[in-house]
Amino acid sequence: MRLSADQRRQNETRIRAAIDRLLRGQIPANGRCDVKTLAREAGIDRTAFYGDRPYAHLREEFETRLAALATTGELPDPRDAQIARLKTQVATLTERLAHRDQTITEHGAFRAAALSQLAAQHEEIVRLRRHADETANIRQLITARTTSSS
C-alpha cells in the first residue's frame, strides 16, 4: 500500500518524536534504545528502517545521534550505562588482581630466600658449636659432695 505525502510526513513526525524521547532516556519498560523500540514507539514496521526503505535515513540519523551521545559519555539507556560502568569496574578489578598476584609471587620468592638463608645460618651455628666443643680446653670438674652427719 502506497503512502500519501501527508501520511509519510506524519509518520516521520512520529518517528522524530520517538527518536527524541529515546535519546532523552525515556525508554519504555520493555524496550531499549534501539531501532526495534524506535519502530514500536513510532508505530511503524521495523523493516521500513532498513535498506532503501522510506525511513532508512531516519534510522541512520538515530544511530548517528546515539553514537554521538555515546562518545560524550551520555548513554540514554540506563542498562547500557550500567554495562559501561561494570566493564570499567571489571577492568579496574582485573588490574588490581594482577597487581596482587604479582605481589604474592614476589612475597613467595622473598619467603623462600629468607627460609633458605635462615637454614644456612642455622647450619653454620651448629657447625661452629660442634667445632668449639671439639677444640675447647675445658674440662668438667667433678665436685665432691659433702655429706652431713647428723
What is residue 146's predicted lDDT score, i.e. its pLDDT? 63
End-to-end CA gap in the chain: 139
| Sequential DSSP letters for 23-74 | HTT---TT--SSHHHHHHHHT--GGGGSTTSTTHHHHHHHHHHHHHHHHHT-
**pLDDT: is 54 or 97 the higher one?**
97
pLDDT tens-digit series, residues 75-124: 777 777 788 889 999 999 999 999 999 999 999 999 999 999 999 999 99
**What's the pTM value of the predicted model, to 2 decimals?**
0.52
How far are the Cα atoms of 39, 64, 115, 121, 123 from residue 110, in angstroms, in the given order? 63, 55, 9, 16, 20
Please list, in sequence order, all residues whose beta carbon lies within 8 angstroms of the beta carbon of residue 11, skipping any fewer than 6 positions away.
3, 42, 44, 55
